[in-house]
Structure formats: C-alpha cells, structure tokens
Amino acid sequence: MSRISVLGLGAMGAALAATLIRKGHSVTVWNRTPSRAEPLAGAGARIATNPAEAVAASDLTILCVVDYAAAGAVLAEAQEALRGRDLVNLTNGTPREAKKLAAWAEEKGAAYLDGGIMAIPPMIGETGALILYSGSDAVFERHKPSLDALAESRHLGGDAGLAALYDLALLSGMYGLFSGFLHAGALVASSGRRVGDFLPLLQPWLQAMSGTLPDLAGKIDSGKHSDTVVSNLAMQATALENIARASTEQGVAPDFIEPMLRLAALRIADGHGNDDISGVIETIRRKK
C-alpha cells in the first residue's frame, strides 16, 4: 500500500483520507484547524504539524481545500519539500488556475496532476463516484491503484486544465437541468398543483429529450446545424416566448428562460431561423 498525505480536511478532504485509511493505505493528514484531524488519527492516520512535514512523509500528496488561493497558500508553506514529490490537486477551480498552479509546482520540482471530483463526500470510495484527472501521465499511472480506491479514475490528457474544464462543464449541464426543473416546478405550483405529482410527466419527457443530444453534439462538432432539422429554431423560439409570457402571467419570474430566448433571437436575427437549436452554441461562443 502507498504512503499518501492529504492536505485539507473539510468534508471532502476528510472523506478522501478516511477512504484511503479504510482501504489500507498509510495516511498522513494536515489541516490548518488541527482538531479536524483528530477523528482520522483515531482511525490510524498520522497527523503532521505543517504542510511541509506532510508532503515529506509520503510518496503522494493529495491537496483538497476550498479554492486555489487557499491551495497556493498551503503549498507555499510546503514548497521546500515538493522537489521530487508527486502532487494531486483536487481543489475545485478554473482551467487557468489549474495550469498556473501546475506550472508553479513543476518549477518547485513536483510532478503535478489536477483533478475534478464528480461526487459528494459520502460517495467517495463507493460505486458511482468519478474523479477526472489531467496533467502528468506518469503521476496518474504511478498512483492509479491508489486513486482508484477513491473513485473511478479517468485521465483526460496532459493539459493540466482539462479536468477543471470538464468538471465545470459537467456541473453546467447539471445546473441547467436544475434550473429547468425549478422553472417548470414554479409554473406547476403557480396553479396550486404539487410539483411531486408533476414528476411522472417530467422525468420521462427529459429522458426522451436526452436522446436528441447525440444528434445535437454531431451538429455542433461538424458545424452543420441545418442538417436533418425536425423542429427549427424559429419554431422553438415561439415556444420560448410563450414560456416567458406564461411565466409573467402566472407570477413566475422568467429569469431562467429569458437568456435562452435572447440567444435564440440573436441567432435567428443572423439568418439562422431554419437551423436546429444546436446553432445557438455559435451565439454562446466568444471569438478568441
């Protein structure tokens, strides 16, 4: 079993450390608030007094803190111990932040792997948890058995920013689903009906519509938004307008639907009303 240090013992960091201990690894932990380490010490973890001591104790260090500012501050305290070490950063942030930290870590002599956790703390170590990684191929291959103890591990490539990008893209899809659900629920509730009673209609509908995603993805990748269009954008914009008007009539804020309506209107104004809704991505994209 590997020697692994975990820096940061919030809900997720503690779950990572506890899982590694449970699966037989030799674990050293550090947290700026020492009391958070005590339950893990009782489970068999060694407590380091500072980040440098924790990094020096192990072959692999996993960092999981609140944001990249905190990550930078922790690693600054450990920089003298980083040379020749493997570092996995599971802090949520942006691709630019990940690349910047990767470059800094490499300057200090560490091999760097960035990660995005697609799970909540109780899922760590269980079926269904996924962690995306990007950065050093060597670090990923060297420690894959240990990383697999935490979740299904998927390496996206050598660009350190890819895990953060895919993490946020997946969350974007999730929050888009939640926003649609909340708006639909508000419309139903405005009639005095129960949202729970509406779910047997909504869930199969969403599942059916998710079947159109491969076709839309193909049009996005090819740029051919006018191929095999079943419901063109102009027709769908009418539905969006009606949703917005009905929302106002029902006393429901149209804030979730209006951005989609605005983007569709811009695409139609550019002469693409007969295209599929996939073409709206061309309005979303910013020219570099």
Q: Give every CB contact of residue 283 below 8 A, 6+ residues apart in sequence.
A: 263, 266, 267, 270
Q: What is the pLDDT of residue 224?
A: 97
Report how far residue 105's alpha carbon sits from residue 113's, in angstroms, rounded to the nearest whole number. Answer: 10
Give the mean pLDDT per block of 10 residues along the chain (288 residues). Answer: 94 98 97 95 96 97 97 97 98 97 98 97 97 98 97 98 98 97 98 98 97 97 96 96 97 96 96 97 82
**pLDDT per position as a tens digit, 139-173:** 999 999 999 999 999 999 999 999 999 999 999 99
Q: Give every CB contact of residue 122 below 8 A, 6+ residues apart in sequence.
A: 15
**pLDDT per position as a tens digit, 55-93:** 999 999 999 999 999 999 999 999 999 999 999 999 999
91 within 8 A of 34, measured Cβ to Cβ: no
AA letter at 6:
V
Report how far residue 60's alpha carbon sits from residue 143's, in angstroms, rounded to the nearest whole number. Answer: 8
Please provide the CATH number assigned to the domain covering 3-158: 3.40.50.720
For residue 239, the surrounding DSSP H or E stretch is helix 233-249
115 within 8 A of 133, measured Cβ to Cβ: yes
Q: What is the pLDDT of residue 1?
A: 72
Residue with tokens 């095999």: 228
64 within 8 A of 41, measured Cβ to Cβ: no
Architecture of the 166-284 domain: Orthogonal Bundle (1.10)
Q: Which residues pair with 30 in a beta bridge?
A: 7
87 within 8 A of 113, measured Cβ to Cβ: yes
Report how far residue 187's alpha carbon sits from residue 253's, in angstroms, rounded to the nearest whole number. Answer: 9
AA letter at 152:
E
Q: Look at residues 73, 154, 157 and name the one whose alpha carbon lies nearest to residue 119.
A: 154
For residue 195, the surrounding DSSP H or E stretch is helix 195-210
SS3 label, residue 69: helix
Report how far residue 56's alpha carbon sits from residue 130's, in angstroms, rounded to the nearest whole number. Answer: 28
Report how far residue 239's alpha carbon sits from residue 276's, in angstroms, rounded to the nearest whole number. Answer: 14
Report how far residue 4's alpha carbon sits from residue 44's, in angstroms, rounded to the nearest whole number. Answer: 13
Q: Give every CB contact of residue 36 below 8 A, 6+ residues apart in sequence.
A: 9, 10, 14
Residue 37: burial class (beta carbons within 10 Å; 0-12, 13-18, 19+): buried
Domain ranges (residues) in the chain: 3-158, 166-284
Report how far residue 284's alpha carbon sits from residue 280's, in angstroms, rounded to the nearest whole number. Answer: 7
